[in-house]
Structure 1
Amino acid sequence: MGFIIRLLVNALALYLLTRVYVGVSFAPGADLVGILIAAFVMGIVNALVRPVLLLLSLPINLLTLGLFTLVVNGVVLYLVAAVTSLNVSGFGAAIIGALILTVISWVLDAIVGALGLDGTRD
C-alpha cells in the first residue's frame, strides 16, 4: 500500500510542477497513465541512478557543500523527461524544476504524514 501512495504522491507532485513552472510540462495529450508512468520512472531513477551519480560526484559535492546535489537532481529530472512524456525546456529548466519538485514533494509528504496515510503507526 505504501508503494501505491508514494507513486500517487510523486505523480501529483509532477503534475503540480507542470502547473506551477512553465519550463517543465507534459506532452500534449498526456493522460493520467502518462503521468503515472513518469512518476514510476522517476522512482526507479531515484532508486537506481541517483545514488550512483551522488557517489561519483562526491568530491565536487563536498567542495560545493552539497549544492551540486541540485545539479544531480536536475540530471535525474532530465533523464526522466528523456524516456517519458515529460518535457523539459533545457538543463537549466531541469535544475529549477527539480528544486521546485523537491519543495512540492516535501509539502505533499508532510500532508500525507499528517493524515496518517504514510503507513507508519503511532
Structure 2
Amino acid sequence: MGFLIRLLINAIALWVTTVIVSGIDVTARTAGGQAATLLVVALIFGVINAVLKPIIRVVGCVFYIVTLGLFALVVNALLFLLTGWVAGQFDLPFVVTGFWSAFWGAIVMAVVSWLISIVIPDRSERS
C-alpha cells in the first residue's frame, strides 16, 4: 500500500511539475492518457532514483562534500533528464527538453512531493 501511495504522490508531483515548468510536457491527447503516462513516468522516476541515486551518492561522495550538497541538484537534474529519455524509449508522450528544464523540474518535483508527503504520510511514519 505504501508503494502505491508513493507512486500516486510522485505522479501528482510530476503533474504539478508539467504545469509549472516549461520544457516538461505530457503530450497525450486524452485525460486518461495523461494520467496513465504520469503514473508510468512516476514509476520510471522511482525506479531510476531507487537504483542509481545510492550508487551516485557513494561514487560522488567527495563532490557532495566539496560543493556542500549543491552537487545533488545537478544529480537530480540528470536523473530527471534520464527519466525523460527512458520514457521516450518506451514511446511515452513525456518530454523533458534540456538540462535547465530538468534542473527546475527536479526541484519543483522534490518540493511538491515533500509537501504532499507532509499531508499524506506513509503508514510507517504514522506509527
Report if TM-score (shorter chain) is over 0.5: yes
Do the aligned residues in 1 keep the contact of 2:10 with 2:42 (CA within 8 Å)?
A: yes
What's 1:25 paired with?
25
- Compute the displacement of 1:79 (Å): 0.7
- Compute the displacement of 1:27 (Å): 2.6
What's 1:88 paired with?
96
Count of residue correspondences: 118
Among all aligned residue pairs of Structure 1 and Structure 2, give the percentage whose two residues are the same amino acid: 35
Q: Classify the secondary structure of the residue corresponding to 1:22.
A: coil
- Compute the displacement of 1:28 (Å): 3.9
One of 94, 104, 116 as aligned partner of 1:108: 116
Q: Classify the secondary structure of the residue corresponding to 1:31.
A: helix
Q: Please give the per-residue CA displacement for 1:23-81, whole angstroms capped at 9, x wherever unaligned.
A: 21113434221111101011101100111122222111111001000001001100110
Do the aligned residues in 2 keep the contact of 1:11 with 1:39 (CA within 8 Å)?
A: yes
Gaps of 5+ in 2: none
Gaps of 5+ in 1: none
After the TM superposition, which segments of 4 or more aligned residues of structure 1 sit over 3 Å from their partners?
none
Distance 1:72 1:51 in 2: 11
Aligned pair 1:71/2:70, yes or no? no
Using structure 1 for the length normalisation, give the TM-score. Answer: 0.89
**2:105 alignment partner AA:** G
